[in-house]
Amino acid sequence: MKSVQESINKRALKAGIWYTICNFAIRGINFITTPFFTRLISKSDYGLYSNYASWLSLLTILTTLDLYTSVSRAKFDYEDNLDNYISSIQICGTFFTGICYCLVILFHTTFEQIFGMEMKYINIMFLYSLFSPSFTLLQAKHRQLLKYKIVSLMAGLSTIASVIISIFLVVAMEDDFEARVLGSTVTLIIFYFFTYLYNLWKGKNINTKYWKYALVIAVPLIPHVLAGNILGTSDRLMITKFCGSESTALYSVVYSCSLIVMVLYNSVNQAWSPWLYEQLSARNYKLISKSSKAYIILSLIAVCTIMLIGPEVVWIFGGRQYAESSKIVPCIMLGTFYWSLYTFFVNVEIYHKKTFGISVRTIIAALVNLLGNYLLIPIFGWEVAAYTTLGAYFLLLILHSFAGKNLGTDSYYSRKFFFLIAGIAFVFMLIIKVAYTDIILRLIVSIIFVSSGAVLVYKNQNVIKIWLNRKK
């Protein structure tokens, strides 16, 4: 029994490494190629594509129901029929997307005005919404089965192909906006069409009994995802409204830096959550407790390191003209860390199928963030948006920790530890903000931090080894 568990743990570790590398590589390609597109495409067409990309992201959530979120739980309830489950809920999503598209066709003039684009681009968005869930479902299945190589390779190749074709079409075609859409979206649609057929082939038949199961888990999460988008975009929208586009640019540079950290957290969580569900199912609470503490300690060290080198990070991303924005790096990074902390409890809520509460709490935090931005940005300026977002993420940590208590997380998650770490990170943020004003002071703080971090890792090396080796 022990050898079987050790084999699962090693596979989980390998999956985590592959997913992390793959996600970083894919996002890295997007970051690297952004300067190319901003130089190849006019500001007008780049703005049109940004509008298109925003609507595409929103439509994909609304018209596909994000049914892939149910796969992590279905793996335990329908383990022997997972392929049939995947193909069945894929058809469920297709059916709903088709209904939405029919409504758009009936009122196409109205929707063209709402979206601010021609119908041909709306058609492309719906084709994407129709076929893209096939790949997210396939990814979700392979993550749960810890089969990481194929989907990692597929994701990487599709992204590279999309970027290369986009650059070629932008250079070759006169309409830059159309070229960008065809290169990025249509390329992926073709790729997703084949994964769509593959899922149907593997599932062999459609069983509608899985529809209700998937909808009960996934639909309540939609408001959560939408509210999460509000948390990520309302600050920039309101900065533009109250302070102007230049202030938005200053804020966006730092926000882009935080996205890299979020990609790292999300990548690790994609490996962590399947492993967590295995341990919850086996009631290995002691192992979960030790592993989660090691995870949090390593995350804290990573975030504090970025806080220390905030001015240098801003210089790499934006240059000297964005130096002013470095003062909000500590706050933005702390918000990202709080975001990572509350996802520990969200994973447990998803495991217990308590997804409705996740949405309610995210909506509450989003409304608080909106109100804070609306009231404070006109008074204190664009920098205050970083603090309202930080406050919203801390509120989510509080709300989800209490929700987790009702699900028994006190058996393996120490809330005192979570909030102690959150407090330490907050104090460090305040110290770093002061240290930014004096290079000598920042050097001293860096030496103290590195020394303390080394001691902390050394004292917890056994716990960290447990998490990395995933052994009982």
Cα angle: 317, vertex 320, 325; to 5 degrees? 70
- pLDDT tens track for 342-359: 999 999 998 887 877 887
The closest alpha carbon to 256, from 176, 322, 300, belongs to 322
pLDDT digits (tens, 9 = 90+) for 223-245: 777 777 777 767 766 776 787 66
Which tokens belong to 393?
């993420």
pLDDT band at 399 (very low <50, low <70, confident <90, very high): very high
**CA–CA gap between residue 372 and residue 385 (Å, rounded):** 8
Write out pLDDT tens, residues 293-334.
888 888 888 888 888 888 887 777 666 777 788 889 999 999
Look over the chain and give the mean of its residue pLDDT values, rounded to a whole number: 80
pTM (2 d.p.): 0.67
Tell me the three-class secondary structure of 181-220, residue by residue.
Answer: HHHHHHHHHHHHHHHHHHHHHHHCCCCCHHHHHHHHHHHH
SS3 of 290-353: HHHHHHHHHHHHHHHHHHHCHHHHHHHHHCHHHHHHHHHHHHHHHHHHHHHHHHHHHHHHHHCC
Q: Are 120 and 175 in contact (CB under 8 A)?
A: no
More confident residue, 185 or 451: 185
pLDDT on residue 25: 61
Nearest partner of 166 among 287, 308, 300, 52, judged by Cα: 52
- pLDDT tens per residue across span 160-202: 888 888 888 888 888 887 888 888 888 889 989 999 999 889 8
State which amino acid sits at residue 202.
K
| 443 has pLDDT over 70 | yes
